[in-house]
Amino acid sequence: MRGTAAALPAAAGLLAALLVWALGATLVEPGAWARLFAARPGPTVAAAADLASMVALALASAAAWLSWWAAPDHRHARLLVGLYASGGFWLLAWSVLLFRFGRPDLALLAVAPVWFVLVALVLLTRRFAPWAAALLVPCLAWMAAAAVLTLELLPPTGAGG
């Protein structure tokens, strides 16, 4: 969707990505990972998780803009908007469930849709926006790491009760 007609939607896409980031920053204050892992030794994991989440969101925002700009037609552009909006929704759901409500069990349920959306975006954009697809790969890695960290926050189960 190159050209003047694409400038306004591309700007709207960038604004939407910034809105998702702003909502996440409002709902989840900095240091949230550190608070979750406060009882465990090694604040390095928490600091790395905070940084990784910010970098992944920045990469996804850049990928959204690049893929929208390179979309070959309006059908692809609309599909991209839907996928990015869906991914943003599920990412916010994961953040709110984990950090605001302290429910890692429910937050894990939101990881699968985020992963599905990211994989769909990589597969969709790799043909017409390979840089956008490449920027989403670290986001997939971050969501895998975030899922493992979320899983570690589940209370232990077993016969020891």
Q: Give pLDDT, residue 138.
A: 94
Q: What is the mean pLDDT of the chain?
A: 82
Question: How far, CA to CA in Å, does 80 sit from each of 34, 65, 124, 137?
Answer: 34, 10, 9, 16
Burial readout 21-44 (b: 16 or more C-beta within 10 A, e: otherwise):
beebeeebeeebbeebbeeeeeee
Higher pLDDT, 14 or 124: 124
Q: Residue 113 burial (CB < 10 Å; 0-12/13-18/19+)? A: middle
Is this prediction's pTM over 0.85?
Answer: no
- Tell whether the model's pLDDT for residue 129 goes beyond 90: yes
Average pLDDT on 56-69 reads 87
Name the DSSP class of 40: S
pLDDT band at 161 (very low <50, low <70, confident <90, very high): very low
Q: Give pLDDT, residue 32.
A: 66
> Which range among 2-6, 80-84, 132-136 shows the weakest confidence by mean pLDDT?
2-6
Higher pLDDT, 41 or 133: 133
Name which of 9, 152, 134 is nearest 81 in CA terms: 9
Average pLDDT on 44-66 reads 81
Residues 6+ apart with CB under 8 A from 36: 46, 98, 99, 153
Q: Give pLDDT, residue 155.
A: 81
